[in-house]
Amino acid sequence: MDKVLFQEYPDGQRRQMLEDNCDKVEELGYMKPFSSDQLLAMKDRLSEVSITINDIEVEKKAQVALYKAQIKPLSEERRTLLDNIRNRAEHVKENCFKFVDQEAGEVGYYSADGILIESRPIRQDERQKTIMSLGRKTGTDN
């Protein structure tokens, strides 16, 4: 088969000649090559589109950073509020007052409001020294 047919006719007439002389007209999909001018125009358009996309992505990054900066303190506050609601209390760090009850054998820690925060059994080093246990003298070394 010939590579080309009816090239001596102009486009409209060539189409009519092809249609009149063919056995059947069928719709097919195929790769139609571009001319060098069409390729050059597409390459120019590709450059323009790439530059525009890059500009938009840079702007998007700046906006995302701005939104993250706005959201971060609100997220931290939300996390604190959720913890406080879940625990029905908030964690604070402040000076508390320790009281040792020798008779009951307990130690209690009180807030500045006078509320018992924590209590535990007394440790050995917190027990009050008795007169007998202070400086036992054997009489041999002194």
Give me the tens of pLDDT residue by residue for the chain, a chain 142 residues long.
788 888 899 988 999 999 898 888 888 988 989 999 999 999 999 999 999 999 999 999 999 999 999 999 999 999 999 999 999 988 889 999 999 998 899 999 999 889 899 999 999 888 877 665 455 555 665 5
The one-letter code for the residue type at 36 is S
The single residue listed with the structure tokens 């486009």 is: 11
Please name every residue paired with 99 in a beta bridge, in sequence order, or none if there are none. 108
DSSP H or E run through 106: strand 106-110
What is the length of the chain?
142
Task: Write down the pTM of the prediction.
Answer: 0.47
Judge whether 43 and 36 are in contact, CB under 8 Å: no
Q: Which amino acid makes up residue 42? A: M
